[in-house]
Structures are given as structure tokens and as C-alpha cells.
Amino acid sequence: MLFNSISFLIFLPVVFIVYWGLFKKSLKLQNIFLLIASYLFYGWWDYRFLALIAASTLVDFFVGRFLQKTGNEIHRKILLSLSLAFNLGLLGFFKYYNFFIESWIDSWANLGVELQVSSLNIILPVGISFYTFQTLSYTIDVYRRKIEPTSDIINFSVFVAFFPQLVAGPIERAKHLLPQFSKKRIFIEERGISGIHLILWGLFKKIVIADSCAIYVNAIFDDYENMNSATLLLGAVYFAFQIYGDFSGYSDIAIGTGRLFGFDLMRNFNFPYFSRNIAEFWRRWHISLSTWFRDYLYIPLGGSRGSKWQQVRNVFIIFLVSGFWHGANWTFVIWGGLHALFFLPLLLGHQNRKHLNQVAENKILPSFRELLQMLFTFGLTSFAWIFFRADSLFDAINFIKRIFTDLSFELQYLSIERYNIELLLIIGIFVLLEWFHRHLEHPFSGTFKWVKIIAIILMLLTLGVYSDQQEFIYFQF
Amino acid sequence: MRNFFKNLIAISVITLILMFFLDNFYSYAFKNGQPRSKIQNILQLKNKHYDVAFFGSSRTENNIDCKLITKLTGMSCANFGISGGSPGDMLILMKLAENRKISFNQVFMQVDYNYNSSGITKYFKANLIPFMDDPIVKDQLLLYKEEFFYRWIPFYRFMVFDKVVGIREATASFLKLRQNTNIAIGFSPKQGIGKATAGSFAETIKDKSQELTQMQKLYKNTNTTLEFFTSPYCKEVKNRDFMDKVQLKLPGLHNYVDLFDDKDEYFFNCGHLNEAGAGVFTKTLVKDLLQ
């Protein structure tokens, strides 16, 4: 079920009314109902893959239970390995099997050896990368004795399958989300209202910003050989806004929906395009994933401790793995590698912990220096996005090559019969709205709150893309 | 929960009011603004007579030069061909024309592989959306069991078809901005030479085309004669003998499918003529059918 679909528009109020109306007095019933609703939400897409979620849930629930019961370190390691092998095995099979087989065949073919190994027609279950990481974090934290394992299988099941964040995050930690299923929930009006506002803002980001950008991005990337330098540069910028609007829009809707049911989900984006360097960008972009990798990969590897060589190695590992997490394609690996390269000078120059505050704090406008820093960082991320969006490495390299060789900077009229100026105007409004509300979660506050709400609804209705509706990009990961 | 529901209701009411207002604005713009599609054009015409009219898809829109016909014969002519248009679309256009007292002496309907198609196209349906309260449009959409319920949710129809009747077109219509092509004349020639996208006709033909039969009924016992014709295709197209099967279904069909078998320079691609080809084809039609 998509957040921006009619079915969700019916599903959400029904679940909300039943949840608060019928089951308000029983926490157990609320959790059972949330579990059923979450499985229905997921099964709407493909009910067959519910078995995978259930299996992942059962494995980690019982691993957690056994970890609590045994003090034997070897047994504990075996149990942890079992969880890792099961979850990463699922991920490996559904997401990476074909990639490894094809890469294996290609590498032998380069040596002149033709291998007859067939790949499989595997459908990638939506959200598998998200919920496997969520359950893994539980098992690892139990293993590290950072949290107590739960003995309530319903609570654990709904923690794994909680529908607002099931298919594209935020990737929650058991320490933060799991206890919320055991506490009596009361409806706090302000949280509920902010939830609605977040949903509205998320829908705007998705339907107006991301889906409008998608129309242009597809036209440019699919026909990049006939585009000039200006259009290709715009294509990269549009994709930067598409993926941001798409993913942060999804996260806002997820967090807002969670609030309607009395839950607090972690923030996933914090105005990443107002970052002054790449390190700051990664503290603000897909926060739940970057902190996951920090806690469960980077720090165990030694983090920023150890020799320079070890620090550099750790940075490359975390960024390359992060790229590979996104998809089984070399384009994602290169995307991750580029970010590692961008990050490296900051690490070596001890600049990676700079800019921990919000840019131009308590000021209306940034300084000229800050503006240049933001533009430079945005330029770097947009450049890397080309690899992320391109269908293959070949396409990405040719796309970039054309930017630097065509050198024609006239704005082209695209085959989609739309002018660049239209989209640039919409993006401009969006950037201004974000800038002037960068200390908030959404712009609906202050004296002109209702004016802004009306304007956003009006833009949703008139500028929203409905006939060419796109799936959320992160569903494919 | 009181404040929460007050907020929720306020947002819902605002949304509904905006939808109602926008629905009226868009409808007004499409009904009274500058026509920017042939459907809009025909819906705004009344009491007009053409000596000859052509209906069909891009093979009519790109291939029949009405200005040339008028120049050569003195006849008034309209090209109602719409790229991607199906016989179902054309039937609605013919009915709308009749309803608005737009009369013709001769009507030519282009038939080829589209003999096998039925129903109306998404693009055509989208163009009809602003005119859903028109009785002809309403009847036709009901006939094709289209999702008629969305007429009861204000503005929803414009959202569903935003690509065709969205804010761009509504504003352009309202501001009376003209299209680059003259939709009243309707000829939109292709430039360049090529024979790409050869494709293939179907191997089998369906029993009967409901839409073409209805067209024949529509003009039976009237002062309008209805004839069917086929535009040229390049010889590389597969199963071209499909047209022999169509000929059996429509005995009076003027079949020009092989007219330019030795004239590659007249094709824009395998199914469409370029401007030079369209000129020669139009002259052929004039000589064979209009003199």
C-alpha cells in the first residue's frame, strides 16, 4: 500500500478510529490490532512475502530469548551468528544473488571463459533491507547486553512490522521503539496535530516536488545522449531534489502516522542540503541508516580511532557498504565510494566534527561563506547522485562526460512538453520554505500557519502529479 | 481529541472547498477558453458546415492537408484526426459534431489495424473530462463503463488526468493561449525522411467493429456520405495483407496502404508520411475521391 494512494486514504482513518475507539483501554488489543493492520498494509503489496517478515521476526525473537538464557559466550556467539546468517542470508538471496552470479559470469567472460550459470527471476520483497536491519539491531543489542530481550512476541512482531515505517524506515532501534509497545499510550492532541501536519508536508514533498522532478529526471536521464550540458546539470540537480522529496517525504509521513498512534519515530532527515560539508550532510541525510552503520559497523571496526590508515579503511568500508546496501549495482558502490572520497579530506584534516549546529543559526540569511559552502556540498552530492540514478556505470560516465564536452548552456525544451522554468520555480519555493523553517519539522507554524496550510493544499491539488504517480524510490531497496 | 478533530475537519473542509472552486475554474476555462485540442474545438463549434471531413488517428492528422484540398477543389475541409485516436474516439467526435449541428457532405474515416481496437483511448477520455455534464459525453462514457463515479468528487477527475487537463492546459485555455498548430485546420505534418518502427499488423481480424458499424448507422439516411480509407504504410510492415481482410469487412474501403511502395522519400517513418508525402497523398485523394 502506498502512502499516496486512495487505499491508504481509507486504511489510515479506519485503523485510527478502531485503534483509539475500540481498543483504547487495552494495550494488548491495540498491539494485536496494529500487528494485523501492519500485515494487511504489507500484504496489500504481496501477501506471499509476509512469510519472510514472520520468519525474520520468529528467528530474532527466539535468538533474543536464548541469548538471555545462556551466559556461555560461545553459545551467545553462535546465536548471534545464526541471526546474522539468517537475516543477511535473506537479504543476500533476494537482493544480491543475481548481482553476484552476473558479476561472476562477467569476470570470467573478461578472461575469455564462457560460463553457463543462470540467474534467477527473483522479486525483491519491498522493505527487506529495512526490516532486516531493524531486527538485526535488536539481536546485536541483546547480544551486547545493551537491552533486555522482550518476552512478548506480539510486541516484538509489531516492532518489526509496524506499518508506518515497515517498508522504507526510519530504521528504528529496539531500544527506542520496542519499549513504546509496552507503555500505555495516550493520545496527545499536540502530537496528533503535528502528525497531520507532517503527513501533509510529506505528501507535498512526494507528490509535488519528487514526482514533478521525476518527470524531468526520467526525460533527461533516459535520453542523456541528446541533452546539452545545461540540461544534464539540471538533470542532476532535479534528481537531488527528487530523491530528497521522495525519501524525506516518505519519512515525514511515516513519523506523522506514527504520532497518530501515539508513537515517536526517530527523525530521518534534517535539511541535508543546507549542510556545509559532506560530514554534516551525513549527519542530516538518512539519519537512521547512517547511525545504524556507525553503531554496528564503523565503531566495531575501530571508528575514528587507530592509525590513519585504519581510519581511512573504516571510512571506505562504511561508505562502500552503505552504497551496496542501496542496491545490487556497481553504480551504488561507486556512489558510496565517491562519498568516502569527499569525506576523506575532512577526516584527515580533523574537520569532520565541524558544523554540528544548524547553519546561520538565529539569522535570516547565511553568510557568503556559508552560502558557498552549502552550494559546494550540494554540488558534490548532486554529482554523486548521477551514479545513483544512472542505469549503469557506462551511462553515468557518459552522462558526466557529456556535461564537460558538450558545453552548450541553452535551456532545452524537453519532449515531456514542459519548461525547466516551471520546475525551477517550484523547487525555488520549496527551498525557501525549508530555509525559513529549518529549525522546525514542517512549515505549519506561526501567525500565517493557516495561510501556509491552504497554500500547500492548493499546490498539492494543482501542481501534484497524479497520472504519472511514482512509487517511492526507496521501496526498491 | 477535540482540537485534533477541529484541525482535521478544518483541513478537510479547506481541501473540499478548494476542490470545488478548482473544479469550477477548470471547467469554466476548458468550456469558455481558447480551444487547445480538437475535442475542445468541436465542443465549442456550433452550426457549421464542412464539405468534407476526415477522421482518424495520426495517419489522418499528419497525412491529410485540408488547406490543399480547399485550394484544389474549393471545398471546405476539416481534419479531425487525433494522434493515437481510436475508432471509438472518432465515433464520439462524430456524435458531438452532430449534436452541435456541425454538418458534412462527405466524411472519410481512416481504417487500418485500428479495425481490431475498441473503446476510447485514455488521452481522449482525459480531454472529455471537463465536459462530463454534456449529455453525449456522459452517454458515451457510460457506454464504455468508464469510472463515472469520479464526477461526484469535485476536481478529482482533473487530478486523475492532470497530464492532459491539468493546470498547464487549464491556465493556457483560460488565458486564451493558442497552440502552435492550427487545430481548426487540423493538419500537422511530419518533417524528415525515414522508415523506422515498421511493426506488424495483426494476423487475425475481429468479427465486427462496433464503432465502425455505429458510424455507418449514424450517417445512414442522412445527407452525409461515409467512406473508409487507409493511409499508406511502408512495404516493410509485416502482415500487410491484414488490409485485405479489412477490405472484405468494409467492401467500399479505399485502400492506399501500398501507394508509396516505391517512394521511400515520402515517409517520415513506416506508418506516417512526411510533409511531401502528405501533399502527394492528399492530391491522390482529391483526384480519386473528391472530383
Q: Domain residues of chain B, as ranges?
A: 2-290
Of A44, A468, A445, A474, give the one whose Cα is nearest residue A253: A474
Report the chain A residue with the minimal C-alpha distance to residue B20. Answer: A461
Report the chain B residue with the minimal C-alpha distance to residue A215. Answer: B163
B172 vs A: CB within 8 A: no
Q: What are phi and psi of A159, to 5 degrees?
A: -60, -40
Residues A232 and A142 in one domain: no
Tell me the pTM: 0.86
Select the residue of B4, B19, B168 nearest A189 (Cβ to Cβ): B4
Residues A156 and A204 in one domain: no
- Whether residue B51 is predicted with pLDDT greater than 90 in this model: the reply is yes
Select the residue of A461, A463, A467 nearest B18 (Cβ to Cβ): A461
Is the CB of A193 less than 8 angstroms away from the CB of B3? yes
Say what the pLDDT of residue A37 is: 95
- The three-state secondary structure class of B4 is helix
Question: Counting one residue from A and one from B, how many pairs have CB atoms under 8 Å apart?
Answer: 50
Q: What are phi and psi of B48, to 5 degrees?
A: -125, 145
The mean of the pLDDT values for chain B is 87
Written as nine digits, the cell of B110 is 481512416
Say what the pLDDT of residue A117 is: 65
Q: How many domains does chain A have?
A: 2
Task: Please check whether residue A187 is in contact with residue B1, taking contact to mean a CB–CB distance below 8 angstroms.
Answer: yes
Select the residue of B1, B163, B164 nearest A187 (Cβ to Cβ): B1
Contacts of A84 by beta carbon, 8 Å cutoff, 6+ apart: A136, A139
Considering the domain boundaries, does residue A331 fall inside one? Answer: no
Give the confidence band of B179 by pLDDT, cuts at 50, 70, 90.
Answer: confident
Considering the domain boundaries, does residue A50 fall inside one? Answer: yes
Say what the pLDDT of residue A122 is: 65
**Alpha carbon of residue A49 to chain centroid:** 21
- The DSSP secondary-structure symbol of B190 reads B
Closest approach of chain A CAs to the CA of B291, in angstroms? Answer: 40
Considering the domain boundaries, does residue A254 fall inside one? Answer: yes
Closest approach of chain A CAs to the CA of B269, in angstroms? Answer: 18
B181 vs A: CB within 8 A: no
Residues A108 and A197 in one domain: no
Written as nine digits, the cell of A76 is 551467545
- E strand or H helix that includes residue A103: helix A97-110
Residues A400 and A422 in one domain: yes
Contacts of B188 by beta carbon, 8 Å cutoff, 6+ apart: B61, B62, B83, B181
- What separation in angstroms does the CA of A463 have from each of A72, A206, A244, A256, A467? 61, 11, 18, 23, 12
Contacts of B10 in chain A (CB under 8 A): 450
A326 is catalytic: yes
Query: Which residues in chain A land under pLDDT 50?
Result: none
- The three-state secondary structure class of B108 is strand
Residues A180 and A70 in one domain: yes
Say what the pLDDT of residue B148 is: 57
Of A95, A97, A67, give the one whose Cα is nearest residue A81: A67
Of A84, A77, A79, give the one whose Cα is nearest residue A66: A79
Say what the pLDDT of residue B149 is: 61
Select the residue of B11, B160, B168 nearest A196 (Cβ to Cβ): B11
Q: Determine which of B7, B122, B157, B177 to mutate to test the interface with A (most A C-beta atoms within 10 Å).
A: B7
Closest approach of chain B CAs to the CA of A111, in angstroms? Answer: 38
Q: What is the pLDDT of residues B237-273, one digit of tens each?
A: 888 888 889 998 888 899 999 888 888 889 998 889 9
Mean pLDDT of B60-76: 92
ipTM score above 0.95: no
Residues A220 and A71 in one domain: no
At A394, the amino acid letter reads F
- Active-site residue among A75, A176, A197, A326? A326
Considering the domain boundaries, does residue A262 fall inside one? Answer: yes
Give the confidence band of B79 by pLDDT, cuts at 50, 70, 90.
Answer: very high
The more confident residue out of B59 and B136 is B59
Say what the pLDDT of residue A7 is: 87
DSSP letters of A312-345? Answer: HHHHHHHHHHHHHHH-SSHHHHHHHHHHHHHHHH
Q: Up-side HSE of residue A16: CA atoms within 13 Å toward CB? A: 23
Instruction: Please state, for a pLDDT cut of 90, what percent of chain B lies above it.
Output: 42
**CA distance linking residue A230 with residue A388, whole number of Å:** 20
Domain end (from A186, A213, A228): A186
Considering the domain boundaries, does residue A312 fall inside one? Answer: no
Say what the pLDDT of residue B62 is: 92
Q: What is the pLDDT of residues A184-241, one digit of tens each?
A: 988 999 999 999 999 999 999 999 999 999 999 999 999 899 889 999 999 999 999 9
Say what the pLDDT of residue A203 is: 95
Say what the pLDDT of residue A291 is: 93
Q: What is the pLDDT of residues B235-247, one digit of tens each?
A: 888 888 888 899 9
The more confident residue out of B163 and B178 is B163
Considering the domain boundaries, does residue A345 fall inside one? Answer: no
Of B254, B249, B250, B276, give the one whose Cα is nearest residue B263: B276
Is the CB of B159 less than 8 angstroms away from the CB of A466? yes
Residues A151 and A241 in one domain: no
Q: What are phi and psi of B227, to 5 degrees?
A: -130, 155
DSSP letters of A383-399? Answer: HHHHHHHSSSHHHHHHH
Closest approach of chain B CAs to the CA of A218, in angstroms? Answer: 15
Say what the pLDDT of residue A474 is: 67
Considering the domain boundaries, does residue A472 fall inside one? Answer: yes
Residues 116-135 of B with CB under 8 A from A: none
Residues A71 and A206 in one domain: no
B230 DSSP β-pair partners: B255
Residues A471 and A383 in one domain: yes
Written as nine digits, the cell of A163 is 506499518
Is the CB of B1 less than 8 angstroms away from the CB of A189? yes
**CA distance linking residue A463 with residue A209, whole number of Å:** 9
Q: What are phi and psi of B50, to 5 degrees?
A: -120, 140
Is the CB of B162 less than 8 angstroms away from the CB of A465? yes
Q: Decide yes or no: CATH 3.40.50.1110 for domain B2-290.
A: yes
B17 vs A: CB within 8 A: no
At A338, the amino acid letter reads L
Closest approach of chain A CAs to the CA of B196, in angstroms? Answer: 18
Closest approach of chain B CAs to the CA of A283, in angstroms? Answer: 33
Contacts of A425 in chain B (CB under 8 A): none
Residues A174 and A265 in one domain: no
**CA distance linking residue B157 with residue B153, whole number of Å:** 8
Residues A388 and A243 in one domain: yes
Domain end (from A186, A215, A249): A186
Of A19, A59, A13, A17, give the one whose Cα is nearest residue A35: A19
Q: How many helices (H) and strands (E) does chain A have?
A: 20, 0
Beta pairing class for B102-110 and B272-273: unpaired
Select the residue of A20, A187, A466 nearest B162 (Cβ to Cβ): A466
Euclidean distance between the first and the last CA atom of chain B, given in angstroms as a whole number: 79
Considering the domain boundaries, does residue A59 fall inside one? Answer: yes
B50 DSSP β-pair partners: B104
Contacts of A9 in chain B (CB under 8 A): none
Written as nine digits, the cell of A234 is 539540471
Select the residue of B4, B159, B164 nearest A192 (Cβ to Cβ): B4
Give the max Cα distance, chain A.
71
Range of the domain at A247: 191-276+355-476
**CA distance linking residue A29 with residue A445, whole number of Å:** 35
Is the CB of A464 less than 8 angstroms away from the CB of B162? yes
Say what the pLDDT of residue A302 is: 86
Domain end (from A159, A186, A213): A186
